[in-house]
Amino acid sequence: MAPRTVAPFGPQHPVLPEPIQLKITYEDEKVVNVVPALGYGHRGIEKACEINDYPKNIHLCERICGICSCIHGISYCEVVERLWPMEIPPRAKYLRTIWSEMSRTHSHLLWLGLLADALGFESMFMQFWRIREKVLDLLEMTTGTRVTHSVSVVGGVRRDINDEQKKICIRTLQEVRKEAEALINVLATDPTVKARTVGKGVLTKEQAIMLGNNGPHLRASGVKEDCRMEGMQAYGELGFEPIVETDGDCYARTLVRARETLQAIDLQLEAFSKMPEGEIYVRPKGSPPANEAVFRSEQPRGECFYYAKGNGTRNLERLRVRTPTFANIPSLLVMLPGSELADVPVIVLSIDPCISCTER
Amino acid sequence: MIENLKEISKDTLLQEVQKFADAKARFVTTVCSDLGDKLEVTYFFNYSPGMDMVALRMVVGKDEEVPSISGIYLTAVLSENEMFEQFGLKVKDMAIDFGGLMFLAKDSPVKPMVKDNAAGGKGGE
């Protein structure tokens, strides 16, 4: 038997934009065991959300993650609105949907670029990130900022999209879709990409469910589950259908995210065409009542679970956030053992890990 | 209000969770809350395929030990470690025990999510 070696993967590694360490035990070139080490970015945001009054928590929740900041802010507002419960204006629902799908578009483009980079496909990495910039420009134009948008408030949204901005958004999204589709066709058919992803990190449907996977990671194993199926915001009026692949490997996860990128653009275009005129905000009455509520949003990385408990004051009694990567990390303990050491980076990347989200 | 919530005791926890595993339900997460002299622990599951969520809830004393469900759902191991280090909830037989150092460091505040443990001032005031 060959000697076993323990090697740290991270916390600093080219495929990890944020710090997590995997203590990998391997024999020859085969991984035999993995133990995750977390705690490099814990900020105690749940505790901070009990100390601040409820409107200020929007800004805290948006800082859980830079990539999903918009949907974190929206999710927080949605769960707090369910404490009354209160209904927000239809136009605000459409605006939240549009900004959510813009976030998904730029997040998936970011991930596709990271995948290309991990495979050594540097020109494709740059192309994906080049077109991603156009989406960030749209977010900046419509929300005022590129990363933490602070556009959602309890009761609706803070800004509207005017007709001129709408025209620019539609024109730019059509361009982005065309360019993304061309790149995705290359990525999906490239022999090197396939050699590095097909059959790697396989999870069956049953494994994916029992490991609590969610998001594209779960749907790539053939499970049709997506929080948008619940029809929140404007999704119920947009004919949304989850994208599912069945092979459960890194290639299937790539295809799900690639197809979701194009789908997210289509959803935005449809939302722009159906968005009703009207108010964008209703003022909440008093403080959140003594009640508890749950809201699940579909972030780019998967299901994000928000739980809020009110106590009749302006402070929440409890806020719990379970982010997608928090639930997807344990699947690495099953996918990595038995794999080649050289495949570890791509398998880790295939769950689209967001450690900032995970540690909050 | 949480829909589809079932109150249970810690003695029946594993039995109830096993029913979800037998039904191929997906574990979503746990939520722990400090009630003062007790802790409230809620386990959320999702029936796959679809988005129907159900919950189990138990209230335990702060010194009580509860069984780990990570033997049934491995993915619960991070939530259980988090409840231990943030609230002091003792969880027996976790598949991986980070010893209270999963997110926190040795010099971090102890059980920071417990209500009477101050986190350091009033934010923004």
Q: What's the sign of the alpha-carbon dihedral A100, A104, A110, A111?
A: positive
Condensed to tens digits (0 to 9), the pLDDT of residues A336-351 reads 999 998 999 999 999 8
For residue B124, pLDDT over 70 is answered with no
Place of tokens 């977390």: A38
- The one-letter amino acid at B6: K
User: What is the spatial distance between Cα A355 and Cα A156, in angstroms, rounded to a whole number?
Assistant: 29
Asked if residue B9 belongs to a domain, the reply is yes
Token digits of residue A291: 């009640």
Q: What residues of B are in contact with residue A291 (Cβ under 8 Å)?
A: 1
Q: Please tell me the distance in Å from B51's CA to the nearest CA on chain A.
A: 7
**pLDDT for res B94:** 93
Cut 0.90: pTM above it: yes
A39 vs B76: CB contact, 8 Å cut-off? no
3-state secondary structure of A76: helix
Q: Residue B97 domain-assigned?
A: no
Tell me how far apart the alpha carbons of residues A106 and A147 are, in angstroms, rounded to a whole number: 11
State the residue range of the domain holding A174.
4-359
Is the pLDDT confidence value at B120 over 60?
Answer: no
Q: pLDDT, tens digit, for every residue of A175-192?
A: 999 999 999 999 999 999
| B70: in domain | yes
- How far from A258 is each of A90, A118, A128, A202, A252, CA to CA, in Å? 30, 16, 11, 18, 10
Q: What is the pLDDT of residues A3-21, one digit of tens each?
A: 888 888 878 888 777 888 8
In percent, how much of chain A has pLDDT > 90?
67
Say how many domains are in chain A: 1
CATH of the domain at A13: 1.10.645.10
pLDDT of residue A166: 96
Residue B99, chain A, CB below 8 Å: the answer is: no
One-character DSSP codes across B86-116? HH--EEES-SS--TT-SSS-TTSPSSTTSTT
Flag whether pLDDT at B8 surpasses 50. yes
Interface test with A, best of B28, B52, B84 (most A CBs within 10 A): B28
Q: Is residue B51 part of a domain?
A: yes
Domain-located, residue B63: yes
- The sign of the CA dihedral A144, A148, A149, A150 is negative
- Does B46 lie at the interface with A, CB-CB under 8 angstroms? yes
Q: How far apart are the CA of A163 and the nearest CA of chain B, in angstroms?
A: 36
Tell me, rounded to whole angstroms, the distance of Cα B44 from its chain centroid: 10
Q: Determine whether the interchain pair B28/A52 forms a contact, defined as Cβ–Cβ distance below 8 Å.
A: no
**Residue B66 lies in domain:** 5-92
Helix ranges restricted to H, chain B = 13-22, 76-87
Q: Which of A34-38, A113-117, A315-319 is predicted with the least confidence, judged by mean pLDDT?
A: A34-38
Q: Choose among B42, B75, B124: nearest Cβ to A212.
A: B75
Pairing of β B52-61 and β A292-299:
unpaired
pLDDT tens digits, A236-251:
899 899 999 999 999 9
Count structural domains, chain B: 1
Strand partners, B45: B27, B54
Average pLDDT, chain A: 92
d(CA A76, CA A55): 10
User: How much is the pLDDT for B117?
Assistant: 65
The domain that holds B86 is classified in CATH as 3.30.460.80
Q: Which residue has the higher pLDDT, B112 or A168?
A: A168
Question: Would strands B5-7 and B52-61 be described as parallel, antiparallel, or unpaired?
Answer: parallel
As a whole number of angstroms, the distance between CA A221 and CA A247 comes to 6
